[in-house]
Amino acid sequence: MSPGSARPHGCRVATHRWLVSLFVAVVTARVEAAGLRFVTPLAGSLIVGPQVIEVTTDATAVDRVEFTVDGVMIGVARTRPFRAVHDFGASLGVHRIEARAFLNGYQGVERAAISTAVPTESVAVDVVEVPLRVRSARNLTAADLGVRENGVEQAIREVAPDRGAAQFVFVIDRSLSMGGGRLTETLAAVDQERRLLRPDDRVSVILFNHTLTPARAIARDEKVADLFDDVVPSGGTSLRDALALVPDNDRAYAIVITDGSDRNSALSEEEALRRISGTRTTVDAIVLESRSKFLDRAASNTGGEVVKSSPGEIDRRLRALIEDINSRYLVVYQSSGSERGWRTIEVRARGSGITILNARKGYFAR
């Protein structure tokens, strides 16, 4: 945390997205074999940008699962969880997603299909939340700050010295490079430092190597180290894909703990950044080895921070990071923009004695 005359306050942004009209009628799923079914997305979902497509089946001898979107094959999965990632573009539309599982040495086939939905009118970003980290000798008000979106001055509705209740998602690397006690130290640090969270915060964990584990909610009386005590560091790294799994329906802080490399993600850096920057998520990270350009950009876009750590310091670094998050201001403004795509955000200090340490650089309006 940067030195100053008052405790630094942090920064991060979120957006409320509102549908301006009712959706068209949901198209129900047509499952051609009861054993194969979609986990995500669900029939009738609104789909935009890079998305994880996942199916499951009761069958045990699965040779491979093929995924198609609008008749074009987009991926193949050979091991559980059966997943593929596809970029559906920047515009909402109806898509047919199909999966075909080959079973028992390619002697049997299961099929499942769903269709997505589309709203009858456009989706507009309405209220924008900008978590902010500053150095100031006094509590800030709306008069102390200015916000521009795409160069246009915006009317600030609120400046709150409180980040508000949030979901904390710990995205933890379990690849081979996290051996030698690093994974054990990380899980213990999460158990120790989540005591700093608010009573109304929620906690979940995503583990990743070359495969992904869906977010696992952690109850207050559960210990992360106990829940994952049988996990052995192994395999490669799918950092970008893992971060894209962070739920985007609520204010969230994604805290990544990793060696910084990524060798196995299906999502490109730009695709992952687009997805992360269009949600209500702030990305912070603790990196144990080489610096990650992707994490640097993800943190910069969303108003978070990347810190370097060595083994033995993870607990201390995580404690400082959560304390910093707890001290962040929240700036709320009504967006006057109507265009889709990337919108830049510039936060400025209007008075003396105020230094903006970090703020989100923008977001994707869809």
| CA-derived radius of gyration, the chain | 21
- 151: helix, coil or strand? coil
User: CA-to-CA distance for 343 and 332, rounded, in angstroms?
Assistant: 15
Highest mean pLDDT out of 21-35, 157-171, 221-235:
221-235
Q: Are 216 and 132 in contact (CB under 8 A)?
A: no
| pLDDT, average across residues 41-59 | 83
Confidence band of 102 (pLDDT split at 50, 70, 90):
very high
Which CATH number, 1.10.287.130, 3.40.190.10, 2.60.40.10, 2.40.160.210, labels domain 36-115? 2.60.40.10
How much of the chain exceeds pLDDT 70, in percent? 86
Measured at the alpha carbon of residue 268, what is the angle toward residues 291 and 43, in degrees to the nearest 5?
A: 130
Q: Are 171 and 255 in contact (CB under 8 A)?
A: yes
What does the block give as tokens for 228?
A: 């994952």
167-326 matches 14-18+122-162+329-365 in CATH topology: no
Note the pLDDT tens digit of each residue in 130-183.
Answer: 888 888 878 888 999 999 999 999 989 888 877 778 899 999 999 999 999 999
Which CATH number, 3.30.565.10, 3.40.640.10, 3.40.50.410, 3.30.413.10, labels domain 167-326? 3.40.50.410
Of the candidates 10, 13, 1, 16, the one whose C-alpha atom is nearest the C-alpha of residue 252 is: 13
User: CA-to-CA distance for 173 and 167, rounded, in angstroms?
Assistant: 19
Domain 14-18+122-162+329-365 CATH class label:
mainly beta
pLDDT at 91: 64
Residue 242 has pLDDT above 70, yes or no: yes
Higher pLDDT, 119 or 138: 138
Q: Which amino acid is present at 315? A: D
Note the pLDDT tens digit of each residue in 314-340.
Answer: 999 999 999 999 888 889 888 888 777
List of long-range contacts for 292-300, beta carbons under 8 Å, 24+ apart = 292/239, 292/258, 292/260, 292/261, 292/262, 293/269, 294/239, 294/240, 294/262, 294/269, 295/239, 295/256, 295/258, 295/260, 297/269, 297/273, 298/243, 298/272, 298/273, 300/361
Higher pLDDT, 34 or 134: 134
Task: Report the mean per-residue pLDDT for the chain.
Answer: 84
Residue 348 has pLDDT above 70, yes or no: yes
Note the pLDDT tens digit of each residue in 188-218.
Answer: 999 999 999 988 999 999 999 999 988 999 9
Q: Tokens 């199909």 label which residue?
A: 98
Q: Could you say which DSSP state residue 88 is in?
A: -
Listed by start position, the domains of the chain span 14-18+122-162+329-365, 36-115, 167-326
Whole-prediction pTM: 0.63
| pLDDT, average across residues 36-53 | 82
